[in-house]
Structure 1
Amino acid sequence: MKRLRTLLIRFENDLPAWQTPAFRGAVIEKVGREHILFHQHLGDEEFMYRYPLIQYKSIHQKPAILCLGEGVDEIYKLFDHKSWTIDVRDQKYELIIDKLYLGQITMNVWNNSYTYTLSRWLALNEKNYEKFKGLTSSFDQLAMLEKVLIGNILSFAKGIDWHVEQEIKVRIDEIKQQRKLKYKDAFLMGFDLRFSSNVFLPEYIGLGKGASHGFGVVRKLREKK
């Protein structure tokens, strides 16, 4: 069991999802590259391989930043600046905060099942995608994706220092869409889907490749009354 602090900051500005990496880059330049949690790079050529505790999103076409654990403390380095103007693709943006959501969540494997949507999920690299296409049945393809998703949740757990002692269960209920998405200099297959798990996940966290760039965004489906 692990108590995790979360902070979601939503801004009033407009930002389509495809511009999220540019928004991320603009915030990093504003804060300064010496603050590693904002970008995960130890130097020009060295990458810090850990789950990102500061993540950049587009929520309802508005820019947002999600902070987890240490990231909640680190985000002040952005707002400590007198000017909140950033440059996104040569356009000036004056960041205006719309809403702040500060919370704490108990991370655990429960007896209940929770249902989520997962959007723009980059589950497979090029090699694994060829393996995925080579599977002859949709059952085998789902099983492969479920295994990857469990691995992504375990990577998230490791990144927030949560030691998982019980079995994590995942079931993909529906794949809504598959499409190629540009990530850095490559086009990877992205999935929009609905899944269930016995882990209660924080709203808007990223899973899989590009989690800090706005890919693999988790939303909990509310139960209909």
Structure 2
Amino acid sequence: MAQFSILSIQPQNLPYRTPQQWRSWLNDLTEWQHDLLHNHKEEGGEHYRYPMVQYRHNGFCGINEGGTLLMALLPLLLAETQLSMDMQREEIQMLTQPKQYRIINWQPFHAENYQIWQETNGIIERIDLLQNILTGHILGFCRSVGFEIPDKSLKVKLIGSLKEVGYKKFSTQNADLWRLTFDVLFEANIQLPQGIGLGKGVSKGKGILLHQISAPIKDTRVKPVSAVHKN
């Protein structure tokens, strides 16, 4: 078992902002001095680590050291706006029975595994690929908060319908690329906190994990996903 904290902050009297706009607002306010807020290295490039500060449509949240930093910035924030705050103590532990979850706007692919996805035609193979990627995302989050999962003990299974949300365009130094996103239901033999991000783009509001509390799923077969290719 591992315990950690999540501090959520919602500015109360500022105009609506997207996660990207909240990111810019907070970093402009702090003059881009804290790499936990933006994950960029001083010498250039990015830190390849799980983001400990994540931005949402209603504000931002900090996990462990990210929350500690946000607490230290409170005087600066309160000089700009009123705040609604919530501190949650969370824990991760393995379970004897699987628990159901939902992820919205999950972006599973980087360039290499997206190429594998495009070259994979069978639905079973595609589901296996997504399950393996999601397993890796969960393992990465757990490592970031100090919880090491015993080798091969984490079991992840996609359930119900696999909803393809669409493609999101993003730019790199070399080209404009497209990133495929999904809404998915899955079960896993681990207790995870609601509201964390998994996958690509989690610092900007993608891949939000929710506890599955809807009515029981009648059709537990994973349904095919259309193979759309962008040029």
- Where do 1:41-120 residues align within 5 Å? 41-43=40-42, 45-58=44-57, 63-81=58-76, 84-85=79-80, 95-97=81-83, 99-120=84-105
Aligned to 1:114, what secondary structure does the other structure show? strand
**CA displacement, residues 36-55 of structure 1 (integer Å, 9 cap, x when unaligned):** 21111221513222111110
SS in 2 for 1:175: strand
The CA RMSD over aligned residues, in Å, is 2.2
User: How far apart, CA to CA, are the structure 2 residues paired with 1:129 and 1:82?
Assistant: 39
Paired position in structure 2 for 1:212: 203
- Confirm whether residue 122 of structure 1 aligns to residue 107 of structure 2: yes
User: Structure 1 segments of 4 or more deviating over 6 A?
Assistant: none
Indicate the larger mover: 44-53 or 193-202.
Answer: 44-53
For 1:2-13, list aligned pairs within 5 A. Answer: 2-12=2-12
**As a proportion of its length, which structure holds more strand?**
1
Quote how far apart the aligned CAs of 1:14 are. Answer: 5.7
Pairwise CA distance, 1:187: 2.2
Q: 1:9·1:65 contact (CA, 8 Å) conserved in 2?
A: yes
Instruction: State the Cα distance separating 1:10 from its structure 2 match.
Output: 3.0
CA distance in 2, matches of 1:224, 1:131: 34
Shift of 1:132: 1.1
**1:183/1:204 Cα in 2 relative to 1: closer, same or farther (>3 Å)?**
farther
User: What secondary structure, in the 3-state scheme, does the structure 1 residue paired with 2:196 have?
Assistant: coil
1:184 Cα shift? Answer: 4.8
- SS state of the match for residue 141, structure 1? helix
Instruction: Give the fraction of aligned pairs with identical amino acids, expressed as a percent.
Output: 22
1:102 maps to amino acid: M
Higher Rg of the two aligned structures: 2
1:127 to partner: Cα distance: 3.6
Q: Where does structure 1 lack aligned partners over 5 or more consecutive residues?
A: 86-94
Whole-angstrom CA distance in 2 between matches of 1:14 and 1:141: 41
Distance change in 2, residues 1:10/1:224 (3 Å): farther
How many residue pairs align between the two structures? 209
- CA distance in structure 1 between the partners assigned to 2:134 and 2:187 by the alignment: 11
The 1:32/1:128 distance shift into structure 2, 3 A limit, reads same
State the 1:114 CA deviation: 1.5
Structure 2 residue runs without a partner (length 5+):
217-231
Distance 1:14 1:198, change over 3 A: farther
Distance 1:178 1:83 in 2: 37
